Amino acid sequence: MDFGFTEEQRMVQEMAKSFAEKEIAPYVEQDEENHYYRREILSKMGEMGLLGWSMPEEYGGNGMGWMEAVTALYEIAKVHTSWRLSISGNCWGPAMTILEYGTDEQKKKFIPPLLSGEAVGSFAMTEANSGSDVGSMKMFAEDKGSHYVLNGSKMWISGGHTSDIGLVYVCTEEGGGPKGLSCFIIDYNNTEGIERIPINKKVGMWSAPTSELVFENAQVPKENLLGPVNKGFPICMWMLNNTRMGCATGAAALSAAALEGSVAYANERTQFGQPIGKFQLVQAQIAEMKLEDDAALQLVYRAAWLKQNKMPSQQQTSMAKLYSCKAAVNAANIAMKVYGSYGYSDEYPCGRWLRDAKQFETLEGTSNIHTTIVAGIELGYQPNR
Amino acid sequence: MNIVVLLKQTFDTEAKIVISGGKVDPTGVTLVINPYDEFAIEEALTLKEAQGEGSEITVVTAGGDVAEQALRTALAMGCDKSILVSDEALDGADEWAAAEAVAAALKDVEYDIIFAGRIAVDDASGQVAVRVAEALGIPSVSSILKFETDGTVATVTREIDGGNEIIEVPLPAMLTAQKGLNEPRLPNMMGIMKAKSKPLEKKDLAAVGKAAGDVAAKFVIDSVSLPTPREAGTILKGEAAETAPELVRLLHEEAKVI
């Protein structure tokens, strides 16, 4: 067993940290305030190879795998949680799923721009009345011979109105259900009949766009069907098992950011004639954050290691996501207490940590869903895939 | 064109410095490429790109095995090959000894130009690069802010009191980089992947034609101490008009700045 980094992983960590400090950190405050998505950061990530994880070099992949990917994502998310979505949105969501299930033409057409950052990616399952119960979605694609016609709407789609290429899961059988869903690749810039509405009022993730998508007789060519018709549900589950690593890693990074901030503040803030870190009650808070943060990160790395080695990882991914999300919310909550009144002001990032931490308990499988996955696999009700 | 970059691995500038047993304790400290040496690497990469095919950058350092990390990072940024001069006899080397070892390693390397950082941020002595130039018998210009070359002469700009001076220097020459020369790039993922297959040659003193006695340090460090912690400021309480005379008195009599 080896807990150390390889030489490449060390360099990836150093590079991602420097990238986040140089290209993301200077804009965090102003972009949060303006709820602004700084598109050029994604382009720069693409240029640096930060979007091409576990992908072949012929499509623009960077030749590195899951361990390096979570290492990089962790450093980026520590600086600004909103940017943790970029790797899921471009690489682990659409690009990796197209690589697994797509035709040669689909791979050649859609993967390179997603990995280079030329295109913004997204994926869409959730509807107004269909969240955890993915199979209950209603949006429908009708087979018209040469093409499909899509009608219906999607809600809470990360990057929905900013993306160029996205996967959309819809019913292709009357009544839908897990055996009646299919996955389509949508070329948003060249498809008529899609209205994309930004959702501007949300608790956190202010620099990461969220959208409602309304499809009205949107024509999608047959060659954009990903995988066989009516096999969208297993494709979706396969994809989520990858993209959830973005949540797990992003949450672990947020808890680390809250911990690092709290440690610095506890050493600097003086009360009763000494730094507040000298008080045992504050020490208990720091220790709790440290323990949970470290445990979260180890779970993230273990799940990444399983994926890197192509071993079953669904349970470990859910454990990583479930625990990291708890750690993130708890760390953000404790940070607010350590910082005291200053934590409640905009001067310090405690408010952002707390706002952003809450997303993790809902996105890409609620904590309840992940609890049932962990237990279901443990009890033998479902295999670990 | 054959380009050489001299590099030193230093503590991260954000590292908390701890002194133990009369020495700076390296335990748990993140090590990085000296920031001024990053300017040197960037200038070398820019020159190589301008020269096109056939140009090559060799990056050279002296230090322990851990210095391999700094060389790999330089290779990931785009340098082509590297040399690490590593020998127990260099533990505690002073600037003269380090320069002798590096200059000896360069005897087998072809170079048209050598870039280095102006100073290292750890000891800030600023001696090694110019000492290497002296040992190699080539001219050196320190703290350059701008660089151009036609292949035989380098035209460099350096800041002087009240303005800039432009110097023409025949190649080969040693040029040390000042902050402002360029904006160093980060290694990208492809560069990191390629770095592991690029040459990293490790040489002990014997391999560069020196014996331990040739590089015995010429000075001894008696003691190392941390700067005195900054004292807390004084806050004058009261209305501005009331406290102003006292502020003026303190600035005049105690701080002696007015």
How high does pLDDT run on average in chain B?
93
State which fold the A7-121 domain adopts.
Butyryl-Coa Dehydrogenase, subunit A; domain 1 (1.10.540)
By Cβ distance, the residue of B186, B189, B196 closest to A7 is B196
B253 inside domain: no
Domain with residues A234-378, CATH architecture: Up-down Bundle (1.20)
CATH of the domain at B33: 3.40.50.620
Q: Is A144 on the interface with B (CB under 8 A)?
A: no
Q: Is B12 on the interface with A (CB under 8 A)?
A: no
Shortest alpha-carbon distance between residue A62 and chain B (Å):
6
Span(s) in chain A for CATH 1.10.540.10: 7-121
pLDDT per residue of chain A (385 residues) written in tens, 0 to 9: 789 999 999 999 999 999 999 999 999 999 999 999 999 999 999 999 999 999 999 999 999 999 999 999 999 999 999 999 999 999 999 999 999 999 999 999 999 999 999 999 999 999 999 998 999 999 999 999 999 999 999 999 999 999 999 999 999 998 888 999 999 999 999 999 999 999 999 999 999 999 999 999 999 999 999 999 999 999 999 999 999 999 999 999 999 999 999 999 999 999 999 999 999 999 999 999 999 999 999 999 999 999 999 999 999 999 999 999 999 999 999 999 999 999 999 889 999 999 999 999 998 899 999 999 999 999 999 999 9
Q: Is B76 on the interface with A (CB under 8 A)?
A: yes
| pLDDT number for residue A78 | 97
Q: Is A342 left (phi over 0), alpha (psi -120 to 50) or beta?
A: alpha
| pLDDT number for residue B228 | 84
- Those of residues 19-58 in B touching chain A at CB distance below 8 A are 32
CB contact under 8 A, A11 and B187: yes
| pLDDT number for residue B104 | 96
**Homologous superfamily of A122-232:** Butyryl-CoA Dehydrogenase, subunit A, domain 2 (2.40.110.10)
B184 inside domain: yes
Span(s) in chain A for CATH 1.20.140.10: 234-378
Q: Is A268 on the interface with B (CB under 8 A)?
A: no
> Which spans in B109-239 are helix H?
128-136, 189-195
Listed residue (A285, A268, A252, A258) closest to A350, CA to CA: A258
By Cβ distance, the residue of B72, B186, B190 closest to A18 is B186
Q: Bridge-partner residues for B168, per DSSP?
A: B155
- For B32, the closest chain A residue by CA position comes to A14
Catalytic residues of A, by residue number, are 364
By Cβ distance, the residue of B186, B189, B195 closest to A62 is B189
- For B188, the closest chain A residue by CA position comes to A48
| pLDDT number for residue A27 | 97
Count of the separate structural domains present in chain B = 1
Which of B189, B193, B200 should one mutate to test binding to chain A, selecting the residue with the greatest count of A CBs within 10 A?
B189
What residues of chain B lie within 8 A of the CB of A62, using their CB?
189-190, 193
Helix axes B68-77, B35-51, angle to 10 degrees: 40
Q: Kindly give the pairing relationship between strand A147-158 and strand A210-221.
A: antiparallel
Q: Where are the beta strands (DSSP E) in chain B?
A: 2-6, 9-11, 19-20, 23-24, 31-33, 56-62, 81-85, 113-117, 140-149, 153-160, 163-170, 173-177, 200-203
pLDDT at B14 > cutoff 90: no
pLDDT at B232 > cutoff 80: no
Q: What is the largest CA-CA distance in chain B?
A: 74
Contacts of B168 (CB under 8 A, 6+ apart): B153, B154, B155
Q: What is the largest CA-CA distance in chain A?
A: 78
ipTM score: 0.86
Paired tokens of A194: 């899609």
Paired tokens of A378: 């443990």
Split at pLDDT 50, 70, 90, the class of B254 is confident
Split at pLDDT 50, 70, 90, the class of B219 is confident
CB contact under 8 A, B72 and A63: no
Q: Is B232 on the interface with A (CB under 8 A)?
A: no
Contacts of B34 (CB under 8 A, 6+ apart): B7, B8, B9, B10, B117, B120, B121, B122
Q: Is A133 on the interface with B (CB under 8 A)?
A: no
How high does pLDDT run on average in chain A?
96
Q: Which of A92-101, A124-133, B108-117, B231-240 has the lowest mean pLDDT?
A: B231-240
Span(s) in chain A for CATH 2.40.110.10: 122-232
- Print the domain residue range for B25: 2-215
Please classify residue A49 by burial: count the beta carbons closer than 10 Å to its beta carbon, then call 0-12 exposed, 13-18 middle and 19+ buried. buried
- Those of residues 138-197 in B touching chain A at CB distance below 8 A are 186-190, 192-193, 195-196
Query: What digits encode the pLDDT tens for the residues A301-353?
Result: 999 999 999 999 999 999 999 999 999 999 999 999 999 999 999 889 999 99
- Counting one residue from chain A and one from chain B, the pairs whose CB atoms sit within 8 A come to 46
Listed residue (A116, A95, A115) closest to A107, CA to CA: A95
Q: Bridge-partner residues for A183, per DSSP?
A: A169, A226
Residues in chain B: 258
B40 inside domain: yes
B123 inside domain: yes
| pLDDT number for residue A176 | 84
B166 inside domain: yes
* Rounded Cα distance, B118 and B106, in Å: 19
CB contact under 8 A, A22 and B192: no
pLDDT at B9 > cutoff 90: yes
B239 inside domain: no
> Which spans in chain A are helix H?
7-19, 28-34, 39-47, 66-79, 85-87, 96-101, 104-116, 232-268, 280-308, 314-339, 350-360, 367-378
